[in-house]
């Protein structure tokens, strides 16, 4: 059975526990990575992230509780927002992403989770952990490797040549969408950025191309991303092709 491109075998589940708390459960490594990332981002930036109340890992499963964040997903708020509010939201998102990208990786060339472990990304390896990788070159080789199993493996070389080995490695949310950015619609102020289980160290282009992964590639959302991130049009074109393999 072929999985849809954004499906993972065991996606995390979030539900409201009461008026003030949410509980998120899933695979233990997903949960641990998200809790680690939330604490890391809270410690090193001013980004409004969830406040973790407690977490628990038992075998292959885990969960954590977090305080509810006031605000509405940008996906549902955008159409009702005025131009000033939209500008405010975009400027704040851009500033928060700059804060992430200013963080220093623990080791030169390292690509993986914030605490030194495997990469978790539903764009990679059918959503199962992979890596960590020791260099951008190694990561790029992994990206194009599925083409080697197709009827025209020579395409792997063609697309691999379009990806540089010299990208800066930056800290990335790696799952940005208008559904996990919360705003106050009237003012446009960002009240929270959620869903950090994919976060970690990635090549600089990844935040941009991943934010436009799959069914997120709408004109409206792309315009927002072009405003808040440096566009990588060549890499986006390559990713659109690689996602088919």
Q: Specify if 31 maps to a domain.
A: no
With a pLDDT cut of 70, the percent of the chain lying above it is 94
Q: Which residues pair with 201 in a beta bridge?
A: 171
Domain harbouring 98, CATH code: 3.90.1200.10
Rounded distance between C-alpha atoms, residue 60 and residue 30, angstroms: 10
Is 189 strand, coil or helix? Answer: coil
Which of 10 and 218 is assigned the larger pLDDT?
Answer: 218
- CA angle, 228 then 232 then 233, to 5°: 120
Q: Kindly tell me if the per-residue pLDDT of 2 is higher than 90.
A: no
For residue 22, what pLDDT is reported? 95
Q: Which residues are paired to 133 by β-bridges?
A: 111
Q: Is residue 73 part of a domain?
A: yes
* Structural domain includes residue 27: no
User: Using the 8-state DSSP alphabet, how is residue 239 labeled?
Assistant: H
β-sheet with 72-73: strand ranges across: 72-73, 181-183, 190-193
**Which one, of 167, 148, 119, lies nearest residue 242 by Cα?**
148
* Residue 37 covered by a domain: no
Determine, yes or no, domain membership for 92: yes
Q: Which residues contact 10 (CB under 8 A, 6 or more apart)?
A: 26, 27, 30
Q: Are 239 and 213 in contact (CB under 8 A)?
A: yes
Number of domains the chain is built from = 1
* DSSP codes, 220-235: HHHHHHHHHS---HHH
Q: Is the residue at 177 inside a domain?
A: yes
Q: Does the residue 36 lie in any domain?
A: no
Give me the pLDDT at residue 214, please.
73
Does residue 6 surpass a pLDDT of 60? Answer: no
Closest to 224 (Cα-Cα) out of 121, 47, 85? 85
The top-scoring range by mean pLDDT among 123-127, 201-205, 236-240 is 201-205
**Mean pLDDT of all residues in 188-193:** 99
Given a cut of 50, is residue 5 above it in pLDDT? no
- How many CB atoms neighbour CB 230 within 10 A? 12
**In terms of DSSP bridges, do strands 21-27 and 13-16 run parallel, antiparallel, or are they unpaired?**
antiparallel
Domain with 209 in it: 69-242
- On the question of pLDDT at 90 being above 70, the answer is yes
Residue 103 included in any domain: yes
What pLDDT, on the 0 to 100 scale, is given for residue 217? 62
For the segment 58-88, what is each residue's pLDDT rounded down to a tens digit? 999 999 999 999 999 999 999 999 999 999 9
């Amino acid at each position: 059975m072929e999985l849809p491109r954004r499906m993972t075998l065991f996606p995390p589940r979030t539900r409201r526990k009461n008026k003030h708390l949410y509980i998120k459960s899933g695979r233990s490594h997903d949960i641990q990575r998200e809790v680690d990332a939330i604490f890391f981002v809270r410690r090193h930036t001013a980004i409004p992230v969830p406040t973790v109340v407690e977490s628990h890992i038992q075998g292959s499963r885990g969960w954590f509780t977090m305080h509810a964040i006031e605000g509405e997903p940008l996906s549902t708020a955008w159409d009702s927002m005025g131009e000033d509010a939209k500008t405010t939201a975009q400027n704040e998102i851009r500033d928060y992403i700059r804060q992430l990208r200013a963080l220093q990786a623990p080791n030169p060339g390292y690509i993986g989770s914030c605490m030194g472990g495997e990469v978790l990304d539903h764009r990679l390896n059918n959503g199962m952990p992979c890596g960590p990788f020791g260099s951008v070159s190694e990561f790029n080789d992994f990206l194009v490797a599925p083409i080697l199993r197709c009827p025209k493996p020579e395409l792997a070389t063609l697309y691999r040549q379009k990806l540089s080995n010299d990208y800066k490695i930056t800290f990335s949310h790696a799952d940005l969408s208008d559904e996990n950015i919360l705003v106050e619609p009237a003012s446009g102020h960002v009240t929270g950025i959620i869903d950090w289980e994919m976060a970690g160290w990635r090549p600089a282009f990844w935040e941009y191309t991943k934010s436009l992964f799959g069914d997120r590639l709408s004109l409206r959302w792309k315009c927002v991303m072009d405003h808040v991130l440096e566009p990588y049009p060549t890499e986006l074109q390559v990713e659109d092709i690689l996602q088919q393999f």
